[in-house]
Amino acid sequence: HVQLVESGGGSVQTGGSLELSCRASGHTSEVGCMSWFRQAPEKEREAVAVITPGGSKGDVANFVKGRFNISRDNAKNTVYLQMDSLKPEDTAMYYCAAADDPYGTARCLSARGANYWGQGTQVTVS
């Protein structure tokens, strides 16, 4: 089994920055793609960013393109989400997810596809 633990959330003012981290532990050899989702109150969970198993290719959703960046350090079993130019509409609970797919990223882009989830970290922008 794999455990994911997020950190780095908090409260910032509009235009500020935060970096979220998500560390995997346990059977980390099962971790393939990794991603970040977010869910605001009364809204559906949405994919924000995804990265390939090796970390060579990451992608972010259009609504955060140019402001957010995803990266990973496999030596540390950690994925990061750098968030700049934050807006109030970025306020949400952010979740780390992973799938035991060693090749692609499709499963990490779907809430149903991901095998593993973190407990979430709150980001509030005012």
Which of the four pLDDT bands, split at 50, 70 and 90, describes residue 111? confident
Q: What percent of the chain has pLDDT over 70?
A: 100
pLDDT at 50 over 90: yes
What whole-number distance in Å separates Cα of residue 81 and Cα of residue 18? 8
The sign of the dihedral angle between the CA atoms of 115, 120, 125, 126 is positive
9-43 pLDDT per residue, tens:
999 999 999 999 999 999 999 999 999 999 999 99
DSSP code, position 57 = -
Mean pLDDT of the chain: 96
72-82 pLDDT per residue, tens:
999 999 999 99
> CB neighbours (10 Å) of residue 62?
6
Q: What is the pLDDT of residue 102?
A: 82
Query: Is the backbone of residue 26 left (phi > 0), alpha (psi -120 to 50) or beta?
Result: left
pLDDT at 84 over 90: yes
Q: What is the pLDDT of residue 67?
A: 98
